[in-house]
Structure 1
């Protein structure tokens, strides 16, 4: 399978290559929406209300971002091959935890996640020859109880700074996790089984 991946994320590229697919990379300049109100405004502007009808709240946010990234890449490269856009967010209760702005913000996020269960949601959009397929996959992740000093040591590694929720499960951040229920790949940034199944339907 040959796709156009609307992401510069090395983690998503690695996941695609793991299943033997080829991916052209087209980094998106789409300005991500940060909440439901911004997502709804974008969806109305694009006149895509029907496509987004199944989603609400935080799922709407990551679905809108995934579509925005894919559409931005397709506007430059076309959709003659499947264009895949994705957006991963961490949700604690109803709060969306994005990438930390600085070390203090990373500490705040990790301390909030300590000893609790949160959801990792990945919105995924596949655009192909005028067709649009949208999904949101959710995985439950529970952190063990963290001490402040180990949070600080983890932040010193630099790993949390470019990741939603301030941790990477595929790296040192795996030591923070007590349990996971659902797709591991989804937490890394791209639910491969869902992508494979949707691609079979949209491409044939």
Structure 2
């Protein structure tokens, strides 16, 4: 069995893989996350996931490497990680009372093959008050997350409904990833 490497520094992705008792190492990709804005959101997520996986694979050709990237899309707008509290507040105000999509792209790379896929999950937020948003920003939680929230923590209070893969919202479509890994061993 080839060594498995997660090309991500995300503690959430690491926890998800640990949850299913897969032996793996973490090696963080050092790519600058850039993408062609003419790509679709699904293509952006899978392209960034591949860039991360391939970057780590180049130094670990004996391994199977998983890269993942998660983006949040409202209408036609990709919502990244906020630069500051004001941007987090503006993003949460936009998401309030609306349905958005969370797209997690995954790339699995080995010497023999490569696979890219994505999962797209619809998330509907309750109407948020300014007090809700202020409280949440004070937790610090929105600052390192695409779309300025994390569903697995306090941000769960904002979620009225999801349609799709919960784990994709957290950052890695776990079930499909593990199923696809069976074709790499």
Question: If the length of structure 1 is used for normalisation, what is the TM-score?
Answer: 0.87
Match of 2:85 in 1: 103
How much is the aligned-residue C-alpha RMSD, in angstroms? 1.3
Residues 97-176 of structure 1 aligned to structure 2 (within 5 Å):
97-176=79-158
Which stretches in structure 2 are left out of the alignment for 5+ residues?
Answer: none
Instruction: Work out whether 1:190 is the aligned partner of 2:172.
Output: yes
8 Å CA contact retained: 1:82, 1:126: yes
Instruction: Work out whether 1:77 is the aligned partner of 2:78.
Output: no
DSSP-derived class of the 1:154 partner: helix
Q: Counterparts of 2:106 and 2:124 in 1: how far apart (Å)?
A: 23
Instruction: Work out whether 1:90 is the aligned partner of 2:72.
Output: yes
Q: Counterparts of 2:142 and 2:35 in 1: how far apart (Å)?
A: 19
| Cα distance change on mapping 1:108 and 1:35 into 2, 3 Å | farther
8 Å CA contact retained: 1:28, 1:72: yes
DSSP-derived class of the 2:71 partner: strand
Match of 2:43 in 1: 60
Match of 1:5 in 2: 6
8 Å CA contact retained: 2:35, 2:47: no
Question: If the length of structure 2 is used for normalisation, what is the TM-score?
Answer: 0.95
Match of 1:49 in 2: none
Consecutive aligned runs of 4 or more in structure 1 exceeding 4 Å deviation: none
Instruction: Work out whether 1:24 is the aligned partner of 2:8.
Output: no
8 Å CA contact retained: 2:9, 2:28: yes
Which stretches in structure 1 are left out of the alignment for 5+ residues?
Answer: 38-55
User: In the TM superposition, what is the alpha-carbon distance from 1:129 to its structure 2 partner?
Assistant: 1.8
